[in-house]
Amino acid sequence: MTEETRKALLVVDVQNDFCPGGALAVKNGDLVIESLNRITRLFDQKGYSLFFSRDWHPHTTKHFKDFGGLWPVHCVRTTWGAQFHPNLQIPSSAYIISKGYGQDDDGYSPFGGAYLRDDDWPLSLNILLSNTNEIYIGGLATDYCVKSSVLDALKLVRDPKHPLEKAYLLTDACRAVNIKPGDGALALNEMENAGVQFITTDEVIRQSR
């Protein structure tokens, strides 16, 4: 590590509908929050970039079963289910990345979403990471949106024109849907084979002391 290393944290979809009691709850999904809050506080203190993604679906979208998709209705924007979990700490400096906000957009990866601004054009995550060397990713769910986020981050790592050099998965700060038994393990294998580096939030915090 050098003093010039610029890091970013991407927290994926820790929303009410993906936590216990939600429309598409991930088992123990809320257990990622404590670890994510600790690393968020660290990165905020260090002045690193913070990104929180959210599903931001319209009422009508091909993503939902009623319209030909795979999933029950969830994270419809402006509803309780689309809100971030109330225990998740989101600093005022963080960027909120909305995804899946089109009727034809599944929105698995935040790299296909945008930071939506009322007064200007949306900004993509690729652009917002233009000064970042390392990205750390955690959230929900391991076998879908987290996996898509990691694989897209690794595309930037392989892009010689982008400064991103490393992508890390926070293994203690993600949980899988496991629609089929073992989906989470398969996703971890796929991400590791693609080049992500596994790390825990405790390890990141120790290395930053």
pLDDT tens digits for range 75-91? 999 999 999 999 999 99
Residue 25, domain CATH: 3.40.50.850
Residue 190 is assigned to a structural domain of this protein: yes
- Please indicate, yes or no, if residue 189 is contained in any of the structural domains: yes
Domain count, the chain: 1
- Candidates 7, 13, 106, 143; catalytic one: 13
Residue 191 in any domain: the answer is yes
Given a cut of 70, whether residue 168 has pLDDT beyond it is yes
Q: Establish if 1 belongs to a structural domain.
A: no
99 is catalytic: yes
- Which position among 19, 75, 145, 174 bears the catalytic label? 145
Q: What integer pLDDT is reported at residue 165 of this predicted model?
A: 97
In a domain, 35, yes or no: yes
Catalytic, 19? Answer no
Segment 44-62 mean pLDDT: 97
Percent of the chain whose predicted confidence (pLDDT) is above 90: 93
- Domain membership flag for residue 196: yes
Q: Catalytic: 27?
A: no
Catalytic-role residue among 7, 19, 30, 99 = 99
Widest Cα–Cα separation across the chain: 51
CA distance 156 to 139: 20
Average pLDDT over residues 44-50: 97
For residue 2, is it within any domain?
Answer: no
Task: For Cα atoms 143, 146, 147, give the angle at the middle one, nearest 5 degrees.
Answer: 60
pLDDT on residue 4: 67
Amino acid at 32: V
- Expressed as residue numbers, the domain containing 89 is 7-207
Share of the chain above pLDDT 70, in %: 98
Domain assignment of residue 160, yes or no: yes
